[in-house]
Amino acid sequence: MYLATLIFLYALITETILILGYSYVTRRAYQWYINFTKDKRVAKQQKLKRDLLVLKNELSQTSSQDEFAKWAKMRRKLDKGMADLEKLTSDINFNKASFELRAKSVLWFLVHGTRTIIVMWFARQATFYLPKGWFGPAEWFLWMPLAPKGAVSVAIWMSACRQVIKQSVSMFNDFILHKIKADPVEN
């Protein structure tokens, strides 16, 4: 039963990743990565945004006709700050894209590659044994491809777990979430 539970948990994790989507998972992973590493570029970007906002407010309060020299100096400073912000944002976005590409590759391997490895590694092992005669002639299908006769193979058990999880999520969406959306709570 240990193998059956392990495979069910693996199927639950991988199906959760597939349901949420690679993009959502990688975005969240990037946010955690940024918070964990305390990236100085992001802190610098946020400080630069705040400074530029303050400078923009000061510039809007300064008359370009009455105080032209002060206004021109502030305008040049604002333009330089905006150029720096664009360069910094571009650099951060490039790093984010490369992180997401690597993370999506790892996720793809985690979802699809490890599934193949698990099925091949445990191909000759029984996930669990069935009582004799319960499934009649269909019993041979459950031990396919290489499990012992009278047992459920890892490939069949993994497919069954994945289908149960998918159908459970589908039923949850159709019945529970649909009912919540249809019957809004009145205050």
- Predicted confidence at residue 187, as pLDDT, reads 47
Residue 29 C-alpha from the chain's centroid: 7
Phi first, then psi: give them for residue 65, nearest 5 degrees. -90, -40
Beta strands in 21-177 (DSSP E): 128-129, 151-152
Closest CA to 8 of 105, 107, 118: 118
- Predicted confidence at residue 182, as pLDDT, reads 66
- Predicted confidence at residue 183, as pLDDT, reads 64
Closest CA to 162 of 2, 3, 19: 19
Kindly give, in sequence order, each residue whose CB lies less than 8 Å from that of residue 27, ignoring residues fewer than 6 positions away: 100
- Predicted confidence at residue 66, as pLDDT, reads 77
pTM of the model: 0.73
Rounded to the nearest 5 degrees, what angle is found at the Cα of 123, between the Cα atoms of 118 and 124? 140
Structural domain boundaries in the chain:
22-121, 124-179
Q: Which residues of the chain, if any, have pLDDT below 70?
A: 177, 181-187
pLDDT tens-place string over residues 68-115? 888 888 889 999 999 999 999 999 999 999 999 999 999 999 999 999
- Predicted confidence at residue 130, as pLDDT, reads 83
Rounded Cα–Cα distance for residues 18 and 110 (Å): 11
